[in-house]
Structure 1
């Protein structure tokens, strides 16, 4: 529901919101320009002094105004009765510029307020402001849900680039967009007299008809700072009963020009003060710096529209959008999915189709939308959960465990939990296990016992579906065919071979960049925008399952590069190692944003062994700004499988790599990379004290040893890896 309320106003009102945002951002510049170009009244200058100086330059002075920017404008009639007006210098009273709003500002103002359509246009733009407010409120709620709660509002965002950019910009701009929307609606309501109108005006009175005093001799003018002036209207010289009307920030007063006495005065009402503040906040007049900040925040709207549209289009193409999805409030089966890379959604679609064909009414959604109150007719819940990293929740499921724990009572409908993972990892289906534990602690009844699927096994999924069908009393035997994204053809242009002498043959394979279509360039998909650490998916001949290899290059490098060690009996690694220049493969890119270096100048610690050097080498290659990068690398032999050895030394000479520490298990002094780290614990401790980020890539045994060493080093500082992970300073890509 929240997602729909956020999505459809954004799509429907996109053009209006863009016009409002861009014109508003452009208008925010004018108050600052006016402030910078306008001479300001001095702190000690009185209104009487200002009147004396301006009156000397313009004897027929009729009105004086001070804008919120501090700009002072004068209106007068000369001896012949010809009217004139100008911006004046309060220090001299002389003219400095014409007192006229620029045509560009007038044009933008009319566009921003009413689309050049008068009152009807103002109603349309008010509708746009209301839509922006809805988008801001629902967007803030969705960001909080995505980040795992309001407490984690400023945490590190994860996921594909459109989502990350959308979330990061939303967190930056949400306050400004909400303020601009609310103040815009207030001003529209005021323009249509929908707000209370209790503006204060002093009761009209007549002057005594005495000969007028020089303005600078009137007592109130002498005690009023020039900076408090809003407007001063002079009495008609032909009418001896007319009076001065002085409006300042403190109210309005009527003054006898002959005696200088204050005949009547009134202070602004609360509504007037509130309206003045709202106008200042919305226009930036009187708060130029705030106006520029709000304008900068509003400038995020075009990017938010773009990234939001890209996400919507991707959703339509992915499993998140399921045709025939039953509404949440009427479905009997609630299928909730927690997926990091999207593959779990393939199984969800297969399950959805099977249950639907069996006569079930099914609602499928991301696990982040879990809320028992939404599912009024639910008879069962089915949770499909992948695991991110070391037993962590996928991005879309952050905070769900806390929501389950906070429920006052378990849902009446039972739950079935199916986890997806890889048994080679110690935290196999770790997040699904946490979900199962949370539901048991709550006392939530189980439909069937929790189950796990290893490496997307279609056979294990089929067995589980039969067990689910038996529990539901229906025939269910599902065959899942893994979905492979559209692949493109890559041509091998070079290869470098290593490790044959030590029984660990590996090849660094470099492919030419494929042609990139217009939509891919605009949306940043596939090979249009990839970087080291992302994954290259290759489906070997004779298999339906893709194998993934970490990329050692990015789009800016102009080629696609991976490092592949030949595995005994490995179907894909064998085929790739047999490639020769000119041979071709079909491949696709899968983003892996969780394994990208955080931006900044803090040190970067890279740790890898064997073919795990590939993404780490890519990070060093991309380090063109000289960030301090420190690499610990382990291999068997310096002479045989020192992958990227020549490149690393060259990058070190160029300043792209600060230090290179190596460990070789078949050398005069045999050691593994974790052993070398133990020897260098002082250097590692110093780097960690500087806030270094740690990135590890390689086999799981190596990664376990590295974690042990790092935990020992961190323990001496009263820290641990859990804290580093929470700070976004530790990432692994292990196999």
Structure 2
């Protein structure tokens, strides 16, 4: 509900907020411009002294005003009509004619009403209210995603859009909340939705005696110019007219002949609140504070753009419908999914259970809380990511499990690929944790190989038997939305050592989604409904989709890809891979891979426009036959996009070695980099990744670190197959 409110408000107000934010940024410069144009007001000069100095230079003075930005102006008439000048607040000397900026006036009108009168003011008021809702819901969601309010300063993980959205939102939150709150208050005041601000001023008149020199009037001498807002002079030919002196604490009426204060109207509470709201909204009291507000407001368009990108990605994931609210459910299905396909199985299960008379609710595994345990039973569908890791929607599940109050019967179904050593490894970790904490089993855990609909149906029959009902699960996977990519280039390596690897480049059509190096491309081979995933070397700005494919004996997809001819097409889709991506900043990167695992690492180097320190360790079989990206890496070294390159070849006649050997040889150098907050990214086969992990563990131990700490801090990432 909170996410939906945040998304709907953001999308509905996007263009309006951009216009208001842009004008707000422009207006934030006005206090700084005013400060350059007029000297600052320093305490120690009385209003009487300033009025005396001004009156000595002009025939008739109408008023002295202090603007919100601190400029002191005088309106006067010396016989040539009414004029306004800026004066020095210390001496009263004239500093030139006061000419309000037409640019700032236009920006102010645009900001307050969109140049549309009352209808524009209503739109702006709704925008302020919407911005308030966006700021509050965004702050709550960010806190939740980072682990609570106390974790708001933790790094934001995820894709580029998510990181920019979270980091910018966190930096701009205080300014946006303040602007939204004060803007909403000022709009409510404009439309009379709040009580009146002013106390009624009494009607008083001067005694009518001869006017005393203005510099001697006690009522004016008692007030410092630093506290002045406005001083209105009496009419020249009306002996009963008075001085009206306005300051923050109230308005005084001063007799021009005696200098006595005839009446004083204190500022009402609502007026004080309104003045404070106006000062905080405009920042006119401090140019530095105004610039802070401007910078916060400038983040709004970027937040809108990144929010839209995140919304599009969420819209692209499978949509599921929970037939029953959590509070009414007797069966809760929790889903751990990386790419979204497991949600499809959950939806099939939910429909079948609902048809069998069950009240079913669905949620991500990460969302588990005590409310879900009011149900009679729990069903967990858990995919495995990488080498036994948690999928995207289950990263916090095991951490949250121990804090739950109840234990109800649970069934666990794992999804994975039997060709991987850690087949359904994460589901097995979930089962072990549940057993250790004493959760009763509804049925025995089961593993599904390659999303087999037949195995899923059999498990459904077993679950139905345990529930005492006939449960028929007929699951038809929804095919992913794909784009056609035509092969435009190929380089083949490794044929001499019996391990062919092809670098394939496909033309990227204009309607292809955005992608970056390290993201995944899912390719659906002929004769199979199950996609195979490959790490991307290229980003969309390269104009091609580039992958490295090792020919696997009997491999359906790799065999087909190796047989493609120029111009032939593949059907593929992009999957964001934020869990394997360099963190932002200038900290060094240590890139470690072997074989085709060089793919995303070479892509990170290729995209290193800022010449960030990058150190690549890579292993192959033979330098003569399968040195992937040899010429490009040499070029990147010359361009300083790659800082250093260390290679290892297992079939080198004189110096046979594996990549972990090179890592061990450079232990001292790597410790220096790790002390400098280096991040380590490892890509390749499981055996290589396991050997590298053991080596890195030994490297960092003298630093008082371990691999688990590096992983938890996002400084050790793996993309393992």
Q: Taking structure 2 as the reference length, what is the TM-score of the superposition?
A: 0.89
Which among 459, 466, 488 is matched to residue 493 of structure 1?
A: 488
C-alpha deviations, 1:25-81, integer Å up to 9, x for none?
A: 44444444434434433565543443344334433112111012012222223347x
Give distance in 2, aligned partners of 1:103 and 1:544: 61
Give the alignment's Cα RMSD to 1 decimal. 3.4
C-alpha deviations, 1:388-436, integer Å up to 9, x for none?
A: 55665544445455554434x327x643333334566676555545555
Judging changes above 3 Å, is the alpha-carbon distance between structure 1 residues 255 and 137 closer, same or farther for their aligned structure 2 residues? same
Q: SS where residue 579 of structure 2 aligns?
A: helix
Residue in structure 1 matched with residue 278 of structure 2 by the alignment: 279
Residue in structure 1 matched with residue 510 of structure 2 by the alignment: 516
Residue in structure 1 matched with residue 527 of structure 2 by the alignment: 542
Q: 1:734 offset after TM fit, Å?
A: 1.0
Give distance in 1, aligned partners of 2:448 and 2:146: 27
Give distance in 1, aligned partners of 2:535 and 2:714: 20
Aligned pair 1:604/2:589, yes or no?
yes
Q: 1:219 offset after TM fit, Å?
A: 5.0
Judging changes above 3 Å, is the alpha-carbon distance between structure 1 residues 208 and 531 closer, same or farther for their aligned structure 2 residues? same
Q: SS where residue 503 of structure 2 aligns?
A: strand
Give distance in 1, aligned partners of 2:150 and 2:427: 23
Give distance in 1, aligned partners of 2:659 and 2:11: 52
Residue in structure 2 matched with residue 340 of structure 1 by the alignment: 338
Contact between 1:458 and 1:480, CA under 8 Å: does it hold in 2? yes
Judging changes above 3 Å, is the alpha-carbon distance between structure 1 residues 533 and 198 closer, same or farther for their aligned structure 2 residues? closer
Summarize the alignment of residues 167-206 of structure 1 with structure 2, pairs less than 5 Å apart: 167-195=166-194, 197=196, 199=198, 206=205
Summarize the alignment of residues 198-217 of structure 1 with structure 2, pairs less than 5 Å apart: 199=198, 206-217=205-216
C-alpha deviations, 1:567-621, integer Å up to 9, x for none?
A: 2222222222233434433322222122222222221111111111111111111
Which among 551, 558, 563 is matched to residue 543 of structure 2?
A: 558
Q: 1:94 offset after TM fit, Å?
A: 2.5
Give distance in 2, aligned partners of 1:467 and 1:99: 84
Aligned pair 1:132/2:131, yes or no?
yes
Q: 1:351 offset after TM fit, Å?
A: 2.5
Matched residues, number: 719
Contact between 2:30 and 2:104, CA under 8 Å: does it hold in 1? no
Residue in structure 1 matched with residue 687 of structure 2 by the alignment: 701
Summarize the alignment of residues 300-319 of structure 1 with structure 2, pairs less than 5 Å apart: 300-319=299-318
Q: SS where residue 568 of structure 1 aligns?
A: coil
Aligned pair 1:638/2:623, yes or no?
yes
Q: 1:184 offset after TM fit, Å?
A: 2.3
Residue in structure 2 matched with residue 627 of structure 1 by the alignment: 612
C-alpha deviations, 1:247-279, integer Å up to 9, x for none?
A: 234543333333434455465455443332211
Q: 1:507 offset after TM fit, Å?
A: 1.9
C-alpha deviations, 1:156-189, integer Å up to 9, x for none?
A: 4444555444444433333333222222232234
Residue in structure 1 matched with residue 242 of structure 2 by the alignment: 243
Aligned pair 1:725/2:711, yes or no?
yes
Which among 350, 353, 360 is matched to residue 352 of structure 1?
A: 350
Give distance in 1, aligned partners of 2:686 and 2:312: 37
Q: Taking structure 1 as the reference length, what is the TM-score of the superposition?
A: 0.87
Residue in structure 1 matched with residue 573 of structure 2 by the alignment: 588
Judging changes above 3 Å, is the alpha-carbon distance between structure 1 residues 290 and 448 closer, same or farther for their aligned structure 2 residues? farther
Which moves more between the two structures, 591-600 or 436-445? 436-445
Residue in structure 1 matched with residue 603 of structure 2 by the alignment: 618
Q: 1:146 offset after TM fit, Å?
A: 2.6
Judging changes above 3 Å, is the alpha-carbon distance between structure 1 residues 621 and 8 closer, same or farther for their aligned structure 2 residues? closer
Q: SS where residue 493 of structure 1 aligns?
A: strand
Contact between 1:189 and 1:195, CA under 8 Å: does it hold in 2? yes
Q: SS where residue 295 of structure 1 aligns?
A: helix
C-alpha deviations, 1:96-146, integer Å up to 9, x for none?
A: 34455737635743663587353x765554444333333332332222223
Q: 1:717 offset after TM fit, Å?
A: 0.8
Which among 451, 456, 468 is matched to residue 456 of structure 1?
A: 451
Contact between 1:328 and 1:375, CA under 8 Å: does it hold in 2? no
Q: 1:477 offset after TM fit, Å?
A: 4.1
Give distance in 1, aligned partners of 2:207 and 2:249: 25
Structure 2 gap segments, 5+ residues each: none
Contact between 2:26 and 2:107, CA under 8 Å: does it hold in 1? no
Give distance in 1, aligned partners of 2:711 and 2:318: 29
Contact between 1:484 and 1:546, CA under 8 Å: does it hold in 2? no
Give distance in 2, aligned partners of 1:389 and 1:193: 60
Residue in structure 2 matched with residue 690 of structure 1 by the alignment: 676
Give distance in 1, aligned partners of 2:310 and 2:585: 27
Judging changes above 3 Å, is the alpha-carbon distance between structure 1 residues 720 and 440 closer, same or farther for their aligned structure 2 residues? same
Residue in structure 2 matched with residue 524 of structure 1 by the alignment: none
Give distance in 1, aligned partners of 2:373 and 2:482: 39
Q: SS where residue 40 of structure 1 aligns?
A: coil
Residue in structure 1 matched with residue 659 of structure 2 by the alignment: 673
Residue in structure 2 matched with residue 523 of structure 1 by the alignment: none
Q: 1:534 offset after TM fit, Å?
A: 1.3
Aligned pair 1:406/2:403, yes or no?
yes
Give distance in 2, aligned partners of 1:610 and 1:501: 15
